Amino acid sequence: MPIAKADIAQDIELLKKRHRDLDRQKTTAEANHKTAEEQLRKLKDDARAEYGTNDVVQLKQKLAELKQENDRKRADYQKHLDAIETRLGEIEAEYQEARE
């Protein structure tokens, strides 16, 4: 069964449309890639400026150190507040004894 010329033209038009769609997708992907590379460069520059490095291993080590320091400071703060509460309780007890 011979293929009609209209069917061939339609197939070609469909292929052209697919090509245009793919070309648009390629252009979008390239733009997204360029944006991602620019963001990565900026983040690396920011990390180098703030932490002295942009090496992922060194940054992870720095993060672990900062977390440990934060945990230590939080524990110290908690001890300080506990001491204040204890002393406040002692003062309140002394006040109650003095009133009785």
Q: Are residues 32 and 72 in the same domain?
A: no
pLDDT at 99 over 80: yes
CA atoms of 100 and 70, how far apart (whole Å) = 45
- pLDDT 10s digits, 20-57: 999 999 999 999 999 999 999 999 999 999 999 999 99
- Do the beta carbons of residue 51 and residue 65 sit within 8 Å? no
Q: Which two tokens stand for residue 87?
A: 């002393």
* pLDDT for residue 1: 55
- Do the beta carbons of residue 24 and residue 16 sit within 8 Å? no
Task: Tell me what percent of the residues of the chain surpass a pLDDT of 90.
Answer: 82
Tell me what the pLDDT averaged over the chain comes to: 92
Q: Are residues 49 and 74 in the same domain?
A: no
Q: Are residues 44 and 65 in the same domain?
A: no
Q: Please state which of the ranges 1-5, 23-27, 41-45, 67-71 shows the lowest mean pLDDT.
A: 1-5
Q: Are residues 29 and 42 in the same domain?
A: yes
Q: Are residues 29 and 1 in the same domain?
A: yes
Across the range 8-24, mean pLDDT stands at: 89
Q: Are residues 66 and 32 in the same domain?
A: no
The number of folded domains in the chain is: 2
Q: Are residues 20 and 61 in the same domain?
A: no
Q: Are residues 28 and 17 in the same domain?
A: yes
Q: Are residues 40 and 67 in the same domain?
A: no
Domain holding 72, by residue range, is 55-100
Which pLDDT band, with edges at 50, 70 and 90, does 7 fall under?
A: low
- Do the beta carbons of residue 53 and residue 59 sit within 8 Å? yes
Q: Are residues 65 and 44 in the same domain?
A: no
